[in-house]
Amino acid sequence: MWQLRKHTVFSIPGIALVLLTLAYGIAFLAYIGISTDRGRIVRGNDFTDMWIALLGLMLGLQALFVISAYRSPKRYLFWAIVWIIYGSIMSVFAICVCAGYATVSDGSAAAWGVFWLASAVAIVVYSAKARRGYMVDRIMGIPEYHPRLAESRGAELAYGLLDKCFPWVTWVFCLFFGILAVIQALCLANDHRLYKVPGQLVPVQTHNGDYWFNLHVWCYGYSNKDQEEATKPVFVLLTDFGMPSTSMMGLAQGIADNGYPACIVDRPGYGWSEPGYWEQDPVDVVKSINQALTKYPINNPIIFVGWGEGGVWTQMYMQVADYSRVIGVVLLDTYPNQEILQTFALNRTTTLQNLRQLRSASVSGDSSTDESKIPTVHFDEDIEKKASRLFSDWRAVSPIALHRARNNAWPGFQPQEALGMHRSLFRNNLYYQAKYFEYGGSGAKLYQTLLNYVSSNTDAVLVYHHWPLRWPAFRQESGSAFSGSSSLSRRDDKAPSAPASNSKLPVIILASGKQFDSNCDTQGISVTEECTMWQAFAWFYYRQQIEYQQTLSQNAAFLLCTGAVQEDNSPCDTDFVWRRPKWLAKAIVGKVIGQSASTTTTATTSSNTDASASASSTTVASSAESSSGSQETVSAISTSPEPTVSPSSSGSSLLQSSQSEVTAFA
């Protein structure tokens, strides 16, 4: 009759370790599956639990190995003292992982980590027993022939190989990945201790109200009085792709210092926001942002400031959310989709065909009711799969700290005292997951969804200009559903009779002039092929801003940021949002605030002109064209001296006030 055998795998401790090891193995496989499972709400990085389960599985196997070798007549536990030291180290690792993730309120990771302790303690205890037994054998003069009762030479070799190879392979694996997991857990706990969550976590609904998650809203200068009166405009800042809210905190502080509240919203997964629903639907994300602003609550008029892809999210907000209270928009270095624009600039033959596929897929459904069923269409599948795989791989290794050496270089970051907090948001377990989710496998889902709202008037103007990309114009009407269509029409030599936009919403389009400089020496490019490529990019970057100016609103101004200012003492580059936030805040407030109320009633004259630009080593000469019914001047913000700000002044027309001399590149 079978009985429990003391101090073996068939003892109560041995059976408990078998069950624990099986649990870790099942959890490891389960988390691999869960990490790729879509159509659900995501609370954290599932790979965190996967790594802890994998290391727990290895520890469990090691504990069973030690117990099975202890008192075995056929095997010998080599290096018992090393096993004791190793088990002690892993016990410390277990405590550190559990404490680290408990500090950041990751309950599942902490729970899985604490059970490492059982396996590690078993390794220490049974290794010590084995070592003591072998010492007794030596004292008693028993020959130290280890697999002494092996029934064959083959079994002897097998036992010897197992007993000598298994320990070293698993020691190296567990110590290497274990120390990485400990580093990440302790660093997360330290970041949590140093940098408390600023602002508020606002619960929002998503996916037709079936799920809840928290979005982070961070406001500066928004007093109770401003909240109660709800009259002073609030600037709402949306960051570029892959950027947490700290990247625009200097700008938000600067706007608040100029007398106006400013709030930054972290999109799902970035900063302190939870990951939310996967896979992401751009319309749901925008509606969640609108909920967060309403529940914060922000009932004041809104001026959006969108940086990079944040500007495209602003355009989406203006189509599907509470756009009626938006009284101004600022776009900073915004492009509808930079990958597509660059591909078009290189004159690849497949570009127009791929754009047709995007448009046909986007307009196949009813944009007002069925956004989530828009199929994903790849514009350049090879590039998109490579980028998506990169984000996915970094997402997988984030819990073991391999990404901590990345994203550390932020020269000139402002405010300097917040640099540590800024860096910490790139090192958590959710950053690359947020990029992976937002990229959506193609990087064009946001642009593709936005195509559903392009009006025929805007489309006609862009067709007349032979411009391949599409986007909807801003609108001010409220209370009515909006749907549009977009297509690649044949070239029409007749100018459209209707304006591209009927909106008079004040819009500032601000870009770094260095992007438009086609001088390769200035850009530090020496290879001829790369120089030709950059010159194509520079022209199309510039041209895209001109098209934005002519189609988004009849009251849009295009401004260039060029020379150096005292704040950063360097030419204006694409990093001007976080290198010179105080200067930028003055420029934005000075251009927008005085016009937000008056420009909606200001009539503009109709004129059709052409736009041309040339970028040499020192200057950018630019002129505006308008087919939307208003003459507008492309301007450069003069960066020396810094712009003066008078929030109370009403000014004349936004378009008139934005005129200035074209500033030379520094």
pLDDT at 351 over 70: yes
pLDDT in tens, 63-113: 999 988 876 666 778 889 999 999 999 999 999 999 999 999 999 999 999
**pLDDT value at 665 more than 70:** no
Give the pLDDT confidence of 651-662 residue by residue, as tens digits: 323 333 333 333
CB-based contacts of 365-372 (< 8 A; 24+ apart in sequence): 365/452, 366/483, 367/452, 367/453, 367/483, 367/484, 368/481, 368/482, 368/483, 371/281, 371/282, 371/283, 371/449, 371/452, 372/281, 372/283, 372/284
Return the SS3 of 164.
helix
- The one-letter amino acid code at 222 reads Y
Q: In this structure, which amino acid lies at residue 22?
A: L
Whole-prediction pTM value?
A: 0.86
Q: What is the pLDDT of residue 154?
A: 64
**256 close to 238: Cβ distance less than 8 angstroms:** no
Contacts of 268 by beta carbon, 8 Å cutoff, 6+ apart: 213, 215, 274, 275, 276, 277, 280, 285, 288, 434, 437, 438
Residue 571 CB contacts under 8 Å (≥ 6 apart), including other chains: 514, 562, 563, 564, 665, 666
Confidence of residue 627 (pLDDT cuts 50, 70, 90): very low
Categorize the per-residue pLDDT at 664 as very low, low, confident or very high, splitting at 50, 70 and 90: very low
Size (the chain), residues:
666
The half-sphere exposure of 1 on its side-chain side, counting CA atoms within 13 A, is: 0
User: Which of 441, 334, 327 is CA-nearest to residue 384?
Assistant: 441
In whole angstroms, give the CA distance from residue 550 to residue 471: 12
Q: How confident is the model over 590-602, as a mean pLDDT?
A: 61
Judged against a pLDDT cut of 70, whether residue 140 lies above it is answered with no
Per-residue pLDDT band for 374 (boundaries 50, 70, 90) equals low
Quick one: tokens of 651? 């000014």
The DSSP H or E segment spanning 254 is helix 249-257
Q: Which 8-state DSSP code applies to residue 617?
A: S
The mean pLDDT of 245-265, rounded to a whole number, is 98
- With a cut of 90, say whether residue 349 has pLDDT above it: no
**Domain residue limits, the chain:** 12-194, 200-657
**CATH for 200-657?**
3.40.50.1820
User: Average pLDDT in the 31-38 region?
Assistant: 94
Pairing of strands 276-278, 40-42: antiparallel
The tokens describing 24, both together, are 């870790």
Query: β-strand 40-42 against 200-206: which pairing, if any?
Result: unpaired
**Lowest mean pLDDT across 76-90, 221-235, 612-626:** 612-626
Pairing status of strand 234-238 against strand 302-307: parallel
Contact indicator for 288, 261 with CB cutoff of 8 Å = no
Residue type, 445: K
Q: pLDDT-based confidence at 207, cuts 50/70/90?
A: confident
The reported pLDDT for the residue numbered 204 is: 97
CB atoms within 10 A of CB 308: 22
Over pLDDT 70: what percentage of the chain?
A: 78
Question: What beta strand segments (E) does 492-622 contain?
Answer: 507-512, 556-561, 613-615, 620-622
Question: What does the pLDDT look like over 289-332, one tens digit per residue?
Answer: 999 999 999 999 999 999 999 999 999 999 999 888 999 999 99
Which tokens hold the place of 322?
């509470």
Q: How far apart are CA 21 and CA 576, in angstroms?
A: 53
Q: List, in order, residues 6 or more apart from 129 with CB less than 8 Å away.
A: 7, 70
Whether 277 and 213 have beta carbons less than 8 Å apart is answered as yes
pLDDT of residue 12: 84
Closest to 266 measured CA to CA, from 217, 202, 198, 321: 217
- The H-or-E segment that residue 461 falls in is helix 456-464
E strands present in 223-337: 234-238, 262-266, 276-278, 302-307, 326-332
User: Over the stretch 456-472, which tens digit does the pLDDT of each residue have?
Assistant: 999 999 999 999 899 99
* Mean pLDDT taken over the chain: 83
Is 452 exposed, middle or buried, given 0-12, 13-18 or 19+ CB atoms closer than 10 A? buried
What number of CA atoms fall less than 13 Å from residue 149's CA on the CB side? 6
Answer whether residue 642 shows pLDDT above 70.
Answer: no
Would you place residue 606 in the very low, low, confident or very high pLDDT band (cuts 50, 70, 90)? very low
- Region class of 469: left (phi > 0), else alpha (psi between -120 and 50), else beta: beta
Distance in angstroms (rounded) separating the CA atoms of residues 647 and 586: 10
The mean pLDDT of 138-146, rounded to a whole number, is 59
Instruction: Please list the alpha-helical segments (H only) found in 104-207.
Output: 107-114, 116-140, 153-194
Q: Give 54 or 614, the one with higher predicted confidence.
A: 54
The answer to whether 252 touches 262, Cβ cutoff 8 Å, is yes
Q: What is the pLDDT of residue 656?
A: 32
Classify residue 160 as exposed, middle or buried by CB count within 10 Å of its CB (0-12, 13-18, 19+).
Answer: middle
Report the pLDDT averaged over residues 613-636. Answer: 35
pLDDT (mean) for 348-376: 63
Least confident of 127-136, 380-389, 436-445, 603-612: 603-612
**Residue 570: pLDDT band by 50, 70, 90 thresholds?**
confident
